[in-house]
Structure 1
């Protein structure tokens, strides 16, 4: 059975509220959905989110990569040759990790559908549920505390607080959240590269002295400043997680070699798909690094794929899979859903997505 057609669709979905980090303020999810169709008319889906400030990927660049390189490469090939097809796509173009991840996921989704099993089962797991944290956008102390209280009221027990916009006020912001949610809720921080190394050490030490109980801090300094990241890690007790500093295997090898972080955040749109993500998790586990699977702002397609990976492989901490919570409404028909702080994967072939929202624009 061969790959008959590859289509791309633009999807722009509104958020329920602004998503604010040290890097950007977003009000929509913008993504390119890839649809790979076989001779039987089955479709596998993947997505390439537009993330200018992290991956540099845009809707136009993802579409160009898929239409000009991937489509001529894959159309007519056997759909059953999953690994060979994924390797060919990865080798065919430099960079463009989001586009390659979208194709990788779509190929895996199609393979799972052909076998009639959920994607997590294709990846070697049996679970259909995984826990998630929830992100609290950057803001003032009162706003953060109010948002955190609401999320805890909805059943979330792990909060990811966005900091890094103002180092001078970050200690007060985190302290306000801790005072509001009490001692039994996990608080983790994501600075999104917003601090200098000296600011990071000052803030983290102050949080330690204040007894805020922060479990780890994600990407405190610029992603290229591995010396600065190591300098921070050496001077604080709180574990440090690398995110934007690690896209692929070479990046993680360097982080491990230089001992600059204790943990790593693996994202499909950074590394190029499920295959590379599994390699990163295996490498981190072999080196006894903490692991988490995260995402960009994505739809049920991207989060379903990431959650399927976690369901099959596991991570050392609760993963960051709340992106669909931020959508004002569902972007597709079918796929993953939430029950409180749990991602529920459908007991259906592949990702379980049956249709795209009627407002998507086809770019094929």
Structure 2
């Protein structure tokens, strides 16, 4: 069945509260919905979401890719998705658009043959557990938020750090007291030097904080620094901003710089994400999956990918919970940290 049309539409959301990481503060989110229609009227949907400080994409840049995408895939058979994915590799400057278009193709294809996307990806699981993220804020607000998250049943809590060493240590240590049975993902978003990152991890460890993933502690381009942290701190070290493509993943694996890779479809697209999964599994590197600022429509993509592949030790798929959405549009059901397909 041939692709009849593909269209982009801007969407806009407000965060319930300002969301701060070491790279800046965000109060709203502008995404792009991709609508792909086949000749028989079947519609596939995808969403592109990005943070300029991480990927360099803006909504204006992504919207300009609409005509290029149309020229690449309109009139082609949706069943030939492998060929289409190869063409879409040219969208190197707009990985979020690549992800949204690839998923829209998969969504339409799955509807045509009567399966759901997680089954397309392998059907390994029909249930995953996500963490919930606490942005950078003062101690009082941090503890209030951690307490609420813990009471809501979340046992994996992600805390953003990287702006103030002393305050960040206190926020994480005191959070552990509020949530004694929780484990933590600590994400510096490139906020530390290698020496600071090692000291920070050793300080938390001395306070017996269980950190299951220590995410992107140093600058994305400092691969030697990332490796230094990995071999000199007690926690598993993950790369996030350092890895966009399968080629980035291959380099970090060969350099022995990471214990974990954080895959985000918005950084890699679906096709490169699949390649990274296979690379990591072959090398014995663990995986987590994250998100940018997706609504329920966009987070749906990563949920189906994660459940279908069954490849991830940890899931950081909570962006939609921070956005003021008028209509829930995901093909999943969520009960606290538990997400069911």
Shorter-chain TM-score: what band?
over 0.9
2-structure distance, mates of 1:62, 1:156: 35
| Unaligned stretches of 5+ residues in structure 1 | 346-364
Q: C-alpha displacement at 1:330, in angstroms? A: 4.4
1-structure distance, mates of 2:195, 2:126: 43
1:41 — aligned with what? 41
Tell me if structure 2 keeps the 8 A contact 1:141–1:174. Answer: no
Q: Secondary structure at the match of 2:31?
A: strand
Tell me if structure 2 keeps the 8 A contact 1:293–1:315. Answer: no
2:32 — aligned with what? 32
* TM-superposition CA deviations, 1:239-264 (whole Å, max 9, x none): 10110001111111111111111110
Tell me if structure 2 keeps the 8 A contact 1:136–1:160. Answer: yes
* Equivalent pairs, count: 341
1:229-244 equivalence runs, <5 A: 229-244=226-241
Q: Call closer, same or farther: CA 1:30–1:200 in 2, change over 3 Å.
A: same
1-structure distance, mates of 2:304, 2:104: 13
| Unaligned stretches of 5+ residues in structure 2 | none
Q: Call closer, same or farther: CA 1:331–1:243 in 2, change over 3 Å.
A: farther
Tell me if structure 2 keeps the 8 A contact 1:108–1:119. Answer: yes
Tell me if structure 2 keeps the 8 A contact 1:3–1:36. Answer: yes
Q: Secondary structure at the match of 2:28?
A: strand
1:82 — aligned with what? 81
Matched, 1:137 2:127: no
Q: Secondary structure at the match of 2:263?
A: strand
2-structure distance, mates of 1:129, 1:188: 21
2-structure distance, mates of 1:334, 1:224: 35
1:1-364 equivalence runs, <5 A: 1-67=1-67, 69-90=68-89, 92-125=90-123, 127-182=125-180, 184-272=181-269, 274-333=270-329, 335-345=331-341
2-structure distance, mates of 1:302, 1:334: 8
Deviation beyond 4 Å, 4+ runs, structure 1 = none
Q: C-alpha displacement at 1:342, in angstroms? A: 1.3
1-structure distance, mates of 2:212, 2:253: 20
1:361 — aligned with what? none
Q: C-alpha displacement at 1:126, in angstroms? A: 5.4
Q: Call closer, same or farther: CA 1:204–1:106 in 2, change over 3 Å.
A: same
Q: Structure 1 length as normaliser, TM-score?
A: 0.90
Tell me if structure 2 keeps the 8 A contact 1:45–1:106. Answer: yes
Q: Secondary structure at the match of 1:235?
A: coil
1:362 — aligned with what? none
Q: Call closer, same or farther: CA 1:344–1:15 in 2, change over 3 Å.
A: farther
